[in-house]
Copies of this chain bind each other. A is one copy, B any other.
Amino acid sequence: MQSDETAVLAANEAFYNAFNQKDSQLMDSLWATGPRVTCIHPGWNVLQGREAVLESWHNILDNPNQPRIVTGGATASLFDTIAVVTCRELVAGSPLVATNVFILEEGAWKLLHHHSGAVFAT
């Protein structure tokens, strides 16, 4: 049986796969269904609520010039029904770092909060 940590890291990977496949429907299915989802895209203010968050993703995934994301170094800390993942992101050669918080909803880990920002220091 898959460990919880493996399941969380798989959910994190699924998120980036949906991004790279530009699959809005898949992206929608990976986010928590509650109203408390939040998202901070690089350089943006916080988006509150599932509707605003998913709309932002649709616009990003619909953008034909949106480059792919390469990710690495994901680590997960699990706390019962919440997991905090940090990982590196590489977009068009630019390094970023992300916080992805997941919640266990009906046995599946769903995105509750995403925060990504550029790395300038090394």
Nearest chain B CB to A88 CB, angstrom units = 7
Interface residue count on the A side (C-beta < 8 Å): 33
With A99-B99, A113-B99 in contact, do A119 and B86 touch (Cβ < 8 Å)?
no
Residue pair A80, B77 in contact (C-beta under 8 Å): no
Q: Which residues of chain A in 75-117 are interfacial with respect to chain B, using CB atoms and an 8 Å cutoff?
A: 75, 77, 79-82, 84, 86, 88, 95, 97, 99, 101, 103, 112-113, 115, 117
Q: Which residues of B contact A38 (CB under 8 A)?
A: 75, 77, 84, 86
Q: Is A46 in contact with chain B by the CB < 8 A criterion?
A: yes
Q: Is A43 in contact with chain B by the CB < 8 A criterion?
A: yes
Q: Is A1 in contact with chain B by the CB < 8 A criterion?
A: no
User: Does more than half of chain A's interface fall in helix, strand or loop, or is it mixed?
Assistant: strand
Residue pair A43, B120 in contact (C-beta under 8 Å): yes
Q: How many angstroms from the CA of A120 to the CA of B40 in the assembled complex?
A: 12
Q: Is A42 in contact with chain B by the CB < 8 A criterion?
A: yes
Residues of chain A at the chain B interface (Cβ within 8 Å): 36, 38, 40, 42-46, 48, 73, 75, 77, 79-82, 84, 86, 88, 95, 97, 99, 101, 103, 112-113, 115, 117-122
